[in-house]
Each structure stands twice: as structure tokens, then as C-alpha cells.
Amino acid sequence: MKHLTRAMLVVSALALAACSQSERFDNDVALGGTAGADGAVVPGSANDPTSPLYFQSAVGDRVLFAVDQSTLSDEARATLNAQAQWLMTNSDYTAVIEGHADEQGTREYNLALGARRANAAREYLITQGVAASRLKTVTYGKERPIEICSTESCYAKNRRAVTVLAAGAIS
Amino acid sequence: MTKLLIRLLSILAAAATLAAAPLLAQDGPLRIEITEGVIEPLPFAVPDFVPENGASAEMAAQITRVVSDDLTGTGLFREIPQNAHIARVTSFSSPVQYADWKAINAQALITGAVGVTGDRVNVKFRLYDVFSGQEMGDGLQFSGTTAGWRRMAHKVADAVYSRITGEGPYFDSRVVYVSETGPKNDRRKRLAIMDYDGANVQYLTDSSSIVLAPRFSPTGDRVLYTSYETGFPKIYVLDVASVGRRTLNTPEGTMSFAPRFHPDGQTVVYSLTQGGNTDIFSLDINSGQSTRLTQAPSIETAPSFSPDGSQIVFESDRSGTQQLYIMPVGGGEPTRISFGQGRYGTPVWSPRGDLIAFTKQSKGRFHIGVMRTDGSEERLLTASFLDEGPTWAPNGRVIMFTRETQGEQGSASLYSVDISGRNLKRVRTEGAASDPSWSPLQD
């Protein structure tokens, strides 16, 4: 349910961002960016709604998948809706969506599975209005886990598609 | 056929069929005990090869050790320690004192001589069936550079192994693999090549980008592999001698991986991912022309040719889970061959053509297994938290694979096992290692 909370935060943060600065930014998801002494937004920090740090922490840069699946959950769709909003507002950025698998699979199959996951996220962002030319995908299979234990608590976080921003046109 | 050969053949036949019943015991000291599939290795003696001059003494002893290690490493042979020997072999041409070798129950005797001249080494050997009191085959000699002395030892052991078992040789071969360092969430990978027994390691790439699953060409001169050099998985071909590499011509905006050579050495079959869907393509190395072989919304990957080059075995999840299929070399309707419980992947056709090795996932465990090419006689050889990616020894009797341990400190090693499931053991490598590919026998 943590992700649902995050999705709600995203919505409120986006609403706030539209009128003033995001002073009630949630510390739990902040990645180290801080507000200035007078509460002003520090450009590039996690409370600057146009920053990649904000995208990572407040919007949510990743969606998770069930075992051996690449279908998007409701939670994943909510995160991707917010990603699409952000990408359309911040049109200078392009993105590479990385697809990953947990370690419970053979190397080649997991590469193909990671590609499916990255593509599912990309297709969804496109249906939400993001230009296809701004989105690339790459699969890492099981090569780049973020959690290293060999239990479902770690596997669940490793089965992911992560939207990684880059400034400027896609190469 | 000598008695010794017949005995060894029956050992192998028993191993291949996993016979649990004991073989008919023979009279006297030649008894071979087989209890519940455990096979008594054949005892042999190998006195230090005789140095032909002062410069040869050290290398003669080293070569003898490697010959012995090759044979005992198969699990089919057991060396009788030199300190138990009664006869002393001080000349390669002296007659064999059979009684002395019988007395210590050596069933096979290997004698040899080593001559070093400058940077050249010459190795001779003879093989004797002690209880028949006769030589098995003719003496042979090999010569090469002193730097390549281990290969001379492997060639001697290969000849002994082949004469006694009737199987093809495999010791004079190499393995290309991925050398791994660093923690699980920041693994560094680079290509490495070594002798089949772990000696003579050489690194072929640096670890600046992820490299995966190297595969030897049919003559062992080149290696196909997947690298993230561009940020995206792409197939490269590397020349083993020069270590020069180039990317293969795969379509723009796609990802490609799981390459393997056709037995002709000119065609490569691989997986290509476009729009999230992975299919199998073949590529002519010379023209750079790719041809689509499968067209399905499911995952098609891990293709491997039959040794005659006419068919491709691959994995697909078109049925809902990973299973093995065979199709003609030019594509066309595939036939499913795996029907057991669980998921099947990474099929590899044996160089003998008779079996397909695979990775199986079932009930949270991973297995290396083999089946006939029609899917019958499935046999699981291993079980662990994570075994995957089998590769065949040149003679099709032994399989090497990756075993990864569980948990936060988990790391990968290479293991080998014979096709009866016997003689499972870790292959010596410098540090962690994965994705082995066994070379053909060297020239």
C-alpha cells in the first residue's frame, strides 16, 4: 500500500506545484533535496517540481510487476499517469525505461521479460499522451537488482520498470 | 577389444542408464563394484614421466600430474599413489614388470618420457592393460612449445581416456566464461577464457560494461557475446587470438542477445527484441543480412543448432510457460518437446546429436537436465537454488553450467557433471564465474 500512498502524494504534490511551492513535501520519499532557509524552492532539488529528483521521489520513477508478468496493476497505472503528466509538463526531458526481472529465472528469458515490462510502461505512457519519440526502452533482465536478498520481499522490488530521465533529445 | 576396454565400456553404459543394479562381478582383483549407481573408479598407475635430459625433469613431473588430474577428475579413474609403486620406471623403453603393477592392483599403467629442447617439448607415452599383460594401442608422441606444456599433458590424458572408455576426448579444450566481481547489486562482469581445468586464465574484455553469455564458434577461433557497451544489449563477435571485436549488424532501435553459431561458422542465430517482443532471427555474418525465423507475440529465445545444422532447439512461452521447441533451420512450424512439470529453458544440443541439455525450474528449485531430442527420457542431473546455462564438453559426455548461491552474499561458480549425474564438482576459477561455453577440441 506504500505505493498507493505515494500515488496520492503525487496527486497532492502536483496540485500544490500548480499554485505555490511544495512546502509540505513528504520527508519519507525525499531523496535529500531540501527547501531553502526561507522555504523557497531550490532549483534541481527534490522539492523543485521540474527536477528529475522530484520525478524520482514525488512522482515515482518505477512500477512493480507480479511474478513472470508484465501487465500493469492499477497502482502501476496511477504512477504512470503521474509520470505522463510530468513528462508532458517538462518537455525538455526524454526517458529510457529500464525493465528488470528478479533472479528467479534464466538469463535469456529474464532479458526478454524485462523488455516486456519496459515496453508495457512505455506503451502506457504513449497512450497517456507522451510522444513515442521521447521514450526508449532497455532490458537488464536479472543483471541489476536493487535489493539483494533471495526472498519475495526483495524479488518484489526487483521486478520493475524504471523511468530514467535524460535531458535533451533521445540519442 | 581388451578386457579392460570392455570393463570400462560397461561402466559407462551403466552410468548412462543410471543402472542401480550391480554389474556382474568378475573374478579376482578386477571386480568393479557398483552399488546404487555408485561406480568404483578404475585404478591406474602413472609413474613420473622419464626426463630425457636434465632440463626436462621439472616439466616431466608437472606433465605427469596433469595427466593424472585429468583422468581422476572424470570420476572414472583412481590413481594409485606413487609411494605405493613397487616397480620404478627409469627408462621409457624398458619392459614392463606386470607382476609389480598387478601386486598393487593397478589395472592400467601409463608410462611416458619428456624431452625439453629450447622452447620445445616432446612428450611420449604408452598405455598398458596390466592384467592382460599387454600394451593398449601404440605409443604416441606429441610436441609443442614449453609454454603450452599443459596441452601436451591433456593430449596424453585424452588418448588414454579415449582408448580405455571408447569415448571421444575432451581434456585439450578451453572454456570462455564471464568473470564476476562486486556485490550482487553492483556486479562487474568481463569475459575470460581458460583451459577446461581452470588453468591459463586470460581476460578478454574489461568490466566497464555488462557482458553476458559468450559462445564459441565451431572451431573455437571466435566468440559471440552480448555487451551493454552502447547502453543497450547488442551482440559482438570477438577474435580469440587478436582479442579484436566488432558489433554484429542488428537492426537499429532493437536489442539483441542469446547468439549462437551455426556449425558452418558463418551463420548466427539470436534473439531480437523490438516493441517488447522477442523473436529468433538468423544473421549471415558476411553479408550482415538478418532473417526472421519466428513470428509470435510470445518470448522466443535461447536458440541452439543441431550439430548437423538442420534444426534449431529454442525456448518459448507461447503455451503460457517456458517450454522447449524444435524447428527447421529456416524457421517454420515448431514442435514442442518438453512436457514435464515446470519451466524449461536454455536448451543446448549435444555435439553428438543424441541429447539436449536444458535448465528446468520446478517447485522453486533449478535443475540441469538432459532429454532425447524427441523429449523422451528426461533426466535431471542437478538440483540447487539456481543452476542454469549448460554447455557440452566436446565429447558430449560432460556438462558445465552456472551455479549461483542464495542470499545477499550469493555468488556464481562454474560446475561440471557427467550426463549420468555423477561426478558433480566445482570448476576451479579465479573468483566468481558464470555463463561457461565449452570449446571444441583444440587442433
Last residue of a domain, one of B133, B148, B165: B165
* Same domain, residue pair A54 and A94: no
CATH number at residue B124: 3.40.50.10070
B43 vs A14 pLDDT, higher one: B43
- The parent domain of residue B314 ranges over 174-438
* Same domain, residue pair B323 and B186: yes
Any idea what DSSP says for residue B214?
E
* Same domain, residue pair A48 and A66: no
The pLDDT tens digits along chain B (443 residues) read 445 544 554 444 444 443 333 333 333 332 223 233 557 899 999 999 999 999 999 999 999 999 999 999 999 999 999 999 999 999 999 999 999 999 999 999 999 999 999 999 999 999 999 999 999 999 999 999 999 999 999 999 999 999 999 999 999 999 999 999 999 999 999 999 999 999 999 999 999 999 999 999 999 999 999 999 999 999 999 999 999 999 998 888 899 999 999 999 999 999 999 999 999 999 999 999 999 999 999 999 999 999 999 999 999 999 999 999 999 999 999 999 999 899 999 999 999 999 999 999 999 999 999 999 999 999 999 999 999 999 999 999 999 999 999 999 999 999 999 999 999 999 999 999 999 999 999 98
Last residue of a domain, one of A38, A59, A80: A59
* Same domain, residue pair A71 and A41: no
Q: Is residue B266 part of a domain?
A: yes
For residue B273, the chain A residues in CB contact (below 8 A) are: 111-112, 115, 139
**N- to C-terminal Cα separation, chain B:** 28
* Same domain, residue pair B279 and B402: yes
- The nearest alpha carbon in chain A to B364 belongs to A104
Q: Is residue B313 part of a domain?
A: yes
pTM over 0.95: no
B427 to chain A, minimum CA–CA distance in Å? 20
Instruction: Pick the residue of B178, B322, B325, B338 with the most A CBs within 10 A to test the interface with A by mutation.
Output: B322
* Same domain, residue pair B246 and B395: yes
CATH number at residue B191: 2.120.10.30
Size of interface A-B (CB pairs under 8 A): 100
Test A119 with B275 for CB contact under 8 angstroms.
yes
- The nearest alpha carbon in chain A to B403 belongs to A106
* Same domain, residue pair A81 and A45: no
* Same domain, residue pair B277 and B188: yes
* Same domain, residue pair B197 and B145: no
Closest listed residue to residue B182, CA positions, set B203, B207, B201: B207
* Same domain, residue pair A96 and A148: yes
What pLDDT is attached to residue B240?
A: 97
Q: Is residue B418 part of a domain?
A: yes
CA angle, A41 as apex, A40 and A47 as ends, to 5°? 135
Last residue of a domain, one of A13, A29, A59: A59
* Same domain, residue pair B161 and B178: no
- Residue B135 host element (H or E): strand B134-135
Complex ipTM value: 0.91
* Same domain, residue pair A91 and A149: yes
Q: Is the pLDDT of residue A122 over 60?
A: yes
* Same domain, residue pair B371 and B407: yes
Give the total number of structural domains in chain B: 2
- The parent domain of residue A159 ranges over 61-171
Amino acid at B81: P
* Same domain, residue pair B206 and B89: no
* Same domain, residue pair A79 and A149: yes
Phi, psi (5° rounding) for residue A88? -75, -30
Residue B340, CA distances (Å) to B113, B298, B321, B375 in order: 53, 20, 12, 9
Nearest to B185 among A105, A113, A148 (CB): A148
* Same domain, residue pair B152 and B197: no
* Same domain, residue pair A65 and A54: no
Last residue of a domain, one of B146, B165, B184: B165
* Same domain, residue pair B243 and B364: yes
A101 to chain B, minimum CA–CA distance in Å? 13
* Same domain, residue pair B157 and B275: no
Closest listed residue to residue B107, CA positions, set B39, B61, B46: B46
Please indicate if any CB of chain A lies within 8 Å of the CB of B277: yes
Report helix, strand or coil for B138: coil
Residue A157 exposure: Cα atoms within 13 Å on the Cβ side: 13
Q: Tell me the residues of chain A between 94 and 123 that have a Cβ less than 8 Å away from chain B.
A: 96, 103-109, 111-113, 115-116, 118-120, 122-123
Average pLDDT, rounded, for chain A: 83
Give the total number of structural domains in chain A: 2
* Same domain, residue pair A116 and A171: yes
* Same domain, residue pair A142 and A87: yes
CATH number at residue A136: 3.30.1330.60
Q: Give the model confidence (pLDDT) of A28-48 as tens digits.
A: 343 444 444 566 788 888 889
Test A139 with B255 for CB contact under 8 angstroms.
yes
The total of other beta-carbon atoms located within 10 Å of residue B183's CB is 12
Nearest to A148 among B184, B231, B278 (CB): B184
* Same domain, residue pair B159 and B179: no
Using CA atoms in the order B4, B73, B177, B317, what is the torsion angle rounded to 10 degrees?
70
Last residue of a domain, one of B132, B165, B198: B165
| Cα–Cα distance measured from residue B207 to residue A3, given in angstroms and rounded to the nearest whole number | 35
* Same domain, residue pair A71 and A144: yes
What pLDDT is attached to residue A43?
A: 86
Q: Which of A6-10, A89-93, A156-160, B367-371 has the least mean pLDDT?
A: A6-10
Q: Is residue B443 part of a domain?
A: no
| Cα–Cα distance measured from residue B438 to residue B215, given in angstroms and rounded to the nearest whole number | 8
Q: Is the pLDDT of residue A1 over 60?
A: no
What pLDDT is attached to residue A37?
A: 52
Q: Give the model confidence (pLDDT) of A143-165 as tens digits.
A: 999 999 999 999 999 999 999 99
* Same domain, residue pair A55 and A67: no
pLDDT band at A11 (very low <50, low <70, confident <90, very high): very low
